[in-house]
Amino acid sequence: MRQPTQVEHLYLDFDGFFASVEQQARPNLRGRPVGVVPFAGTDRTCVIACSKEAKARGVKSIMRVNDALKLCPSLVLVPQSPDLYRRAHNALLCEIETVVPIDAIKSIDELACRVALADRTNPEGIAQRIKARIAANVGPHITCSIGFAANRQLAKIAGKLNKPDGVTIWQPSQMPEPLFQVALADIPGIGKRIDQRLARAHIGTTRQLYETSAKQLRAIWGNVTGERLWYALHGYDVASPPSHRGMFGHSRVLPPEARSLEGAREISRLLLIKAARRLRREGFYASGLGLGLSLSQNHWGEAYSLPVVRDDQAFLAALERLWEQARQGVQARAKVFKVSVVLFDLSAAQERQLDMFLDDDRERQNWERLSSLSDDLNMRYGRTLVSMGHWAPPAGGHVGGKISYTRVPDAEDFW
């Protein structure tokens, strides 16, 4: 495995992305503490993103609105605008691509680039050009923090150190001393469970982690991930393993007027249709459906096995069976705060295997053609023109296109 002698990777993290996009789009929010919330008109929810002005007053993401207002009474609560964030993301990518090729989009507010050979002696210049392009062509209120290092993992760690609007360069010749200033909990991949395992192995600092052998880290993690982390921390050019699609799902925090079993059921139907459309666009079938309900005191969830299918009729029929179970397992008057649906056990379209005991292939193909025709009509007109069953999005919309850190929504998610 190769150990670079120059910085070869860049990791870029936008600062308070959702809130800063709101400030760029709405001049009246600039310089004010902003908290982005799922929907307007209630304080019985949480702040899902906040601006640097709000963070300076102690507000954090995923903090209850009442708690945030106690810390910052002047906090401006702004309902989420997911389609605005999607458009901002795409515009920002275009500007960054004029300076350096993007290697991987890690989330809507993070990306990684491999630095070209000719640019490796001047990482400061790359960062300045990126920031200048964003300020001039998208807006100065959207800032980013950038890390440079020998590999992507180290670049990501470096990029978190000087937020907001910072640049951190870890030349291989300087390592590993700068790494030892980072808290163990700030190393990507070390969550609560791994932290407990490290503590049992008497590893409590980043220096101790660095000085542990690769084989020991593999044993602590229980798989090759620990060994890969060892090589990354030691500056080797570790290639990211290929990712594989495991599921298609959507969830939604319910507005107060929909926090009942029937309200959650109606929204779950819309979420499932959205997920099914994504599944078909990306060329998959599914043989499993999951439904989850977040209640005031606990969580209810069940899964249902399906033949290998991709049409709305099959998915919606299975969803109704899950709701029959939910009505038996959840009190009728229970408050449902969040509903989630997920399609899993995926098969690529070209790898579909039919069930020899299920004699419904002709009917299934008819339902698939009907779903495909619906998708084509909706695509042509850029909105939900045709759907199976009633289509009535809740107040605030965003069914399937909600704020997301891990997935960049498609334009189709907002139809």
Active centre residues (catalytic):
110
For 152, how many CA atoms within 13 A lie in the half-sphere containing its CB? Answer: 16
Query: How far, in Å, CA of 179 to CA of 174, rounded?
Result: 10
Amino acid at 89: H
Distance of alpha carbon 134 from alpha carbon 121, whole angstroms:
22
From the centroid of its chain, how far is CA 35?
19
The β-bridge relationship of strands 46-47 and 76-79 is: unpaired
What residues contact 246, with CB distance under 8 A and at least 6 apart? 344, 346
Listed in sequence order, the DSSP H helices in 191-246 are 192-200, 206-211, 214-221, 224-233
Distance CA 10, CA 27 (A): 31
Tokens for 406? 């891990």
> Which residue shows structure tokens 């005991």?
357
Instruction: Look up tokens 């990684």; give the residue.
Output: 112
Q: Rounded to whole angstroms, how far apart are CA atoms 112 and 100?
A: 10
**Helix 17-25 vs helix 82-97: crossing angle, to nearest 10:** 90
Q: Report yes or no: 144 and 127 within 8 Å, Cβ to Cβ.
A: no
Q: Cβ distance 250 to 341 under 8 Å?
A: yes
Strand arrangement of the beta sheet that strand 49-50 belongs to: 49-50, 34-37, 76-79
CB 135 within 8 A of CB 15: no
Helix axis angle, 214-221 to 224-233, nearest 10°: 140
Selection from 86, 67, 88, 68 nearest residue 76 by Cα? 68
Instruction: For the chain, give percent helix, strand, coil, nearest 5.
Output: 45, 20, 35
47 SS3 class: strand
